[in-house]
Structure 1
Amino acid sequence: VALNVHLFTVVPKGFFPQQDIGQIMGGIQADQSISFQLMREKLGRFVAIVKDDPAVDTVVGYTGGSQTNSGFLFIALKPLEQRDASADQVIARLRPKLAKVPGATLFLQAMQDVRAGGRQSNAQYQYTLQSDDLDLLREWTPKITEALRSVPDIADVNSDTQEKGLEIDLKIDRDTAARLGLSMAQISNTLYDAFGQRQVSTIYAPLNQYHVVMEVAPAYWQDPRTLDDIRISTSGGALAGSASTAAVAAVSTQLTGSADALSADAVRNANTNRIANTTKSGASTGAAVSTRFNLSVPLSAFATFGPGTTPLAVNHQGLFAASTLSFNLKPGVTLGEGLAAINRAMVQLGVPASIHGTSQGTAKLFQQSLGTQPLLILVALLSVYVVLGILYESFVHPLTILSTLPSAGVGAVLALIVCKSEFSLIALIGVILLIGIVKKNAIMMVDFALEAERARGLSPEAAIREACLQRFRPILMTTLAAIFGAVPLALASGTGAELRQPLGITIIGGLMVSQLLTLYTTPVVYLLLDRLRRRPARASREETGGAAPLAPAE
């Protein structure tokens, strides 16, 4: 039991084995001030580099989404028999080539059949920093990220905190704008018309429909000086053409009853219409005269603007400001070793107490499973003990049967260490299966020995010796059958076989060691516990001085 505890503490631990299913996913993180057009160029260069690798079959990449400086790649590798490297090896040899692309980084990770946690990131595992002080978190996140990049056990460390996105700070003098007859709605609508990609119409075709989008020419997107040419219409409408206004009533005099008065009014109205037609307000029609001037005011007349920086996103988790660090593991490093290295780096860096880090996604579930694994094994052992106690109507003989399990545990963990495999959730399933398989050896011997004592009156020594001789053949047959049944799992080499290998390794290792030791340890434990069981009856007989009969075997 002590050896089991020691081996469990030293064996490398993981959540699920790292698989090679022939697919790789990549996340692109570019400079925060990058444009959409330049991002497309970076994506094309990454795709070209990946396609040149002989192990790659197809590549699909796209950019856009919530942030213009991000993109994704999905890489399909050739079948295992047609390539000379695993997915992790392909990623390792692509990294130096991809690092030559300036202004952007491509983070690659091998896709898995089983992935717990719903977080999307540029790497397989996540570690989240939280604090109630946003400024302090923004100060320490780059420091922690740089410190973790120097940790030898992890790779592809990156953060979702992006605080240096470029923006134009536009400050509007509302008083000046009001004097010019401009409202904030007019200003906002004009800017949205220029840069917001407003949909103004839809063209319907027999087989499709097309949105008509209004914006400035693409050549002016990237130049902030374009704002100098933006002009705001004081009427809120077009800068040219007729303005839509209310009708203006004809002017009349007090001499409405005379012909001279009517003639004077007509001349005055005609002159008013002629003056209106000469202004910039547009055409005048009949009795309706437009008196509003459709002027355009340059944006610089009432606003100032200049470059600035802004966060591309502000993340929160559990009501606290949060920053998530993503990372991958170096080849041969388990998840437990990677998390331990991160914790050591955090302590050495002296992170303030107000900033605390927790694992997320797959890493969080792994840490939770570490605390429940010993409890799960203990519950399985208690369940077996209760069932055997009921069947044998004894508290002692179930202990004899359970005594065979420590040797199986030692064999399972040693097999994982020898095969350089981690103790994962799949290996734990193998240990649980061993609890059910291994105890059948002791059950066959103990059951035969008890029957020999009761039916033929044999002594415990003679009964257990005969049980070993008589049950050796069925014990060996069942053990070999189970071992050979697990060999295909341990030696599997197809796509995704890494997920099944720990199950076969633990079963084979546990059965081999338990088979070698069970025939020697079970008789010893049986006789030892039998003497302990008979000791109260022997002590009672010595006190009374009588020859009390031996207690029947249970």
Structure 2
Amino acid sequence: MLLFFYPPFRKKSRRTLLLFLTVFLLIASFLQPLWQVIRPDGIGGPLSAGGVSIGLLPKNSKNTFNITIDMPENTPVEITDAMSREIGAVLQNEQFILNYQVWVGQTGIADFNSLFKGTAYRVAENIAEIRVNLTSKHERSTTSIEMVKSLRNKLLPIQKKYPGSVIKLIEDPPGPPVLATVVAEIYGQDLVVLRELADNIKSDFQNTYDMVDIDTSTPSDVHEVVIIVDKEKAAISGISTGQIQQTLAYLIKGSVVAASHIPGEKRQVPIRLVVPRQYLVDPSLLHSVYVSNSSGQKIAVSELVQIEKRLVEHPIYHKDSERVVYVSGELRDSAQFSATLDLNQRLNQREIPDNGLLQTANLNIFDTVPDATRGYQLLWGGEMRLTLDVFRDLGAALCLTLISIFLLLIAYYKSFRLPLIAMAAIPLGLIGVFPGHWLMGEMFSGASLIGVIALAGVVVRNSLLIIDLTLQNIENGMSPDKAVIEAGATRFRPILLTALAIVLGTAIMLSDPVFTGLAISLIFGTITATVLTLLIIPMLLYLTLADDKSVAASGEVH
């Protein structure tokens, strides 16, 4: 056992080689997340071999997902219903779909995700929603993520059949809900310019790798017909404004003419007389609609009203007291990091005719406050902003953890060098974190960073076991080199058992998509830290103790 732990620090060449290999492995590991920026097809292309993507949380296989349908604003409910039925026909042929429920003209049951996105409680003829229920994920070999990806391709012909329609397949988010994975918030003062910018940026989204379900907050143009009663003519004709209004209401909305008492029903059922949609009177043909005055004279409605056609005003959205429009999109497989950087590279400093340049921002550690007085701005929101906030806060927690450990060790050892040696095990553990994510095919997520924080405490404990026993051996009269060797050999078994307990204890979390990153960080970080701690820490400890004349003197007699 002593031969195994015989350290390579007796020869300077061996020490140099070991330190060089360790530093090389550490740099190579940290290059993996940076490598995702360098891609064969540019930053917006597929991930390079050996790269590790960064995101908030990976998607989780669920037993349900939503399909939302948004048609142009002037679409009749019959067309929306026809489109939803065509989608339903496709769903019926899917193997693992248990059932589905369709809402036409309104959204489905409100959940936290729809409330946050602002899609709950909507009522309009141009919208529909389909809640799809799947068989239990434990009874099927295909994940809901793969099913959604396959259905997107199958529903694309239906979407092309209805121009202007948007079909979105929405999965329940693994973390906090956001408006979309990639969101561009465009701020400015002129609504016309904002709409033009949104349309241009939407085409950039469409040309982005892996981007789907692209939408904007700017509705299509809808024309409305305003019928204004000429009160003077109506008064001369002996017809009141209420008569004209009631006549038009009969034609457009219909009227309850009677009630039916159905056996078994507690309440009477109203009978409404309506004109079928295909036979509705065109406003320009009101000359064929008559209203009678008190003398029984029939007068055409067109003689008593004025007809105006105009555009319906678009809704104006505000955020932080600034006018804003949104362009959003989802990603099939890739993380939002590369897609956002690719779009930001293309859109930053883009010229706006007669309005200067478009400024992009909000990719820093702290949020950028919109300010339309400085010109037109594009601030990145969605999951990218949430990821930056999470990594910022967790990074601050990691720094606070390291500082606390360092201060406690200084107080314990009454030395600055020994705490640094003990904490040298932390970067040794990081050597295995990113390669572990690459081997498992997972992104580095917020849960992964939590695993790194937990890993820091575990690997430092292994260093302390060696350091404490080494100091105890020196106090007993051993020379520094033998004291280090004895400490490494003696502490090998408890360090190994600790590593096995962590690896086997966290392996169960590998099946959970949310906590997979945490498990990978702990498992692979612990493995590399255990191996390298038994080599690097004794060497650094020996070099430190050998330089300490008082320690070296105490070991000369042995």
Q: TM-score, normalised by structure 2?
A: 0.75
Deviation at 1:91, TM superposition (A): 2.4
> Partner of 1:517 in structure 2?
532
Deviation at 1:411, TM superposition (A): 0.6
Task: Tell me if structure 1 keeps the 8 A contact 2:57–2:174.
Answer: no
Matched, 1:467 2:508: no
Matched, 1:15 2:56: yes
> Partner of 2:39 in structure 1?
none
Q: Relative to structure 2, which stretch is displaced further, 8-17 or 212-221?
A: 212-221
Which of 173, 176, 180 is the aligned partner of 1:112? 173
Task: Tell me if structure 1 keeps the 8 A contact 2:30–2:434.
Answer: no
Matched, 1:87 2:144: yes
**Counterpart residue identity of residue 338, structure 2:** E
SS at match of 1:321: strand
Which of 185, 189, 214 is the aligned partner of 1:128? 185
Write out aligned runs for 1:135-154 (5 A). Answer: 135-154=192-211
Matched, 1:408 2:429: yes
Deviation digits for residues 175-227 of structure 1 (CA, Å, limit 9, x no counterpart): 54455466766655654555357889998988544574867423467552486
Task: Tell me if structure 2 keeps the 8 A contact 1:163–1:309.
Answer: no
Instruction: Please give the alpha-carbon distance, in whole angstroms, between the structure 2 residues aligned to 1:503 and 1:207.
Output: 58
> Partner of 2:320 in structure 1?
318
Matched, 1:458 2:515: no
> Partner of 1:43 in structure 2?
84
Deviation digits for residues 106-142 of structure 1 (CA, Å, limit 9, x no counterpart): 221333343434x4xxx65533322221010112211
Instruction: Work out the number of aligned pairs and report it.
Output: 473
Residues 69 and 21 of structure 1, relative CA distance in 2, 3 Å threshold: same
Deviation at 1:151, TM superposition (A): 1.0
**Counterpart residue identity of residue 35, structure 1:** P
Instruction: Please give the alpha-carbon distance, in whole angstroms, between the structure 2 residues aligned to 1:20 and 1:94.
Output: 15
> Partner of 2:49 in structure 1?
none
Task: Tell me if structure 1 keeps the 8 A contact 2:69–2:127.
Answer: yes
SS at match of 1:300: helix
Residues 214 and 330 of structure 1, relative CA distance in 2, 3 Å threshold: same
> Partner of 2:276 in structure 1?
218
Instruction: Please give the alpha-carbon distance, in whole angstroms, between the structure 2 residues aligned to 1:230 and 1:387.
Output: 92
**Counterpart residue identity of residue 502, structure 1:** G
Matched, 1:427 2:473: no
**Counterpart residue identity of residue 535, structure 2:** Y
Matched, 1:28 2:69: yes
**Counterpart residue identity of residue 426, structure 2:** L
> Partner of 1:77 in structure 2?
134
SS at match of 1:498: coil
> Partner of 1:298 in structure 2?
300
Unaligned residue ranges in structure 1 (runs of 5+): 234-238, 240-279, 282-292, 539-547
Residues 187 and 211 of structure 1, relative CA distance in 2, 3 Å threshold: farther
Q: Relative to structure 2, which stretch is displaced further, 217-226 or 140-149?
A: 217-226
Deviation digits for residues 460-494 of structure 1 (CA, Å, limit 9, x no counterpart): 3332221111111111111112112222222x2xx
Task: Tell me if structure 2 keeps the 8 A contact 1:51–1:57.
Answer: no
Q: Relative to structure 2, which stretch is displaced further, 503-512 or 219-228?
A: 219-228
Instruction: Please give the alpha-carbon distance, in whole angstroms, between the structure 2 residues aligned to 1:93 and 1:362.
Output: 23
> Partner of 2:336 in structure 1?
335
Which of 400, 415, 421 is the aligned partner of 1:394? 415
SS at match of 1:427: helix
SS at match of 2:348: helix
Task: Tell me if structure 2 keeps the 8 A contact 1:115–1:362.
Answer: no
Instruction: Please give the alpha-carbon distance, in whole angstroms, between the structure 1 residues aligned to 2:250 and 2:531.
Output: 82
Instruction: Please give the alpha-carbon distance, in whole angstroms, between the structure 2 residues aligned to 1:202 and 1:367.
Output: 61
Matched, 1:481 2:482: no
Larger Rg belongs to: 1
Instruction: Please give the alpha-carbon distance, in whole angstroms, between the structure 1 residues aligned to 2:429 and 2:238.
Output: 88
Instruction: Please give the alpha-carbon distance, in whole angstroms, between the structure 2 residues aligned to 1:509 and 1:55.
Output: 35
Deviation at 1:87, TM superposition (A): 2.3
**Counterpart residue identity of residue 388, structure 2:** Q
Q: Relative to structure 2, which stretch is displaced further, 374-383 or 469-478?
A: 374-383
**Counterpart residue identity of residue 445, structure 2:** S
**Counterpart residue identity of residue 337, structure 1:** S
> Partner of 2:105 in structure 1?
64
Residues 341 and 88 of structure 1, relative CA distance in 2, 3 Å threshold: farther
Residues 393 and 303 of structure 1, relative CA distance in 2, 3 Å threshold: same
> Partner of 2:513 in structure 1?
498
Deviation at 1:7, TM superposition (A): 4.3
Deviation at 1:21, TM superposition (A): 1.4
Task: Tell me if structure 1 keeps the 8 A contact 2:256–2:272.
Answer: yes
Q: Relative to structure 2, which stretch is displaced further, 138-147 or 200-209?
A: 200-209
SS at match of 1:337: helix
Residues 106 and 36 of structure 1, relative CA distance in 2, 3 Å threshold: same
Write out aligned runs for 1:189-268 (5 A). Answer: 191-192=248-249, 194-195=251-252, 208-209=266-267, 212=270, 216-219=274-277, 222-225=280-283, 228=286
Residues 199 and 427 of structure 1, relative CA distance in 2, 3 Å threshold: farther
Deviation at 1:450, TM superposition (A): 1.8
Deviation digits for residues 513-545 of structure 1 (CA, Å, limit 9, x no counterpart): 11111011111222344456x47x89xxxxxxx
Percent same amino acid among aligned pairs?
A: 21
Residues 187 and 369 of structure 1, relative CA distance in 2, 3 Å threshold: farther
SS at match of 1:68: strand
**Counterpart residue identity of residue 224, structure 1:** D
Deviation at 1:74, TM superposition (A): 1.4
Instruction: Please give the alpha-carbon distance, in whole angstroms, between the structure 2 residues aligned to 1:306 and 1:139.
Output: 26
> Partner of 1:268 in structure 2?
none
**Counterpart residue identity of residue 486, structure 2:** E
Write out aligned runs for 1:164-183 (5 A). Answer: 164-173=221-230, 175-177=232-234, 179-180=236-237
> Partner of 1:346 in structure 2?
347
Residues 166 and 479 of structure 1, relative CA distance in 2, 3 Å threshold: same
Q: TM-score, normalised by structure 1?
A: 0.75
Write out aligned runs for 1:96-111 (5 A). Answer: 96-101=153-158, 102-103=161-162, 104-111=165-172
Deviation at 1:423, TM superposition (A): 0.9
Write out aligned runs for 1:534-553 (5 A). Answer: 534=548
Instruction: Please give the alpha-carbon distance, in whole angstroms, between the structure 2 residues aligned to 1:213 and 1:467.
Output: 92
> Partner of 1:53 in structure 2?
94
Root-mean-square deviation over aligned CA pairs: 3.4
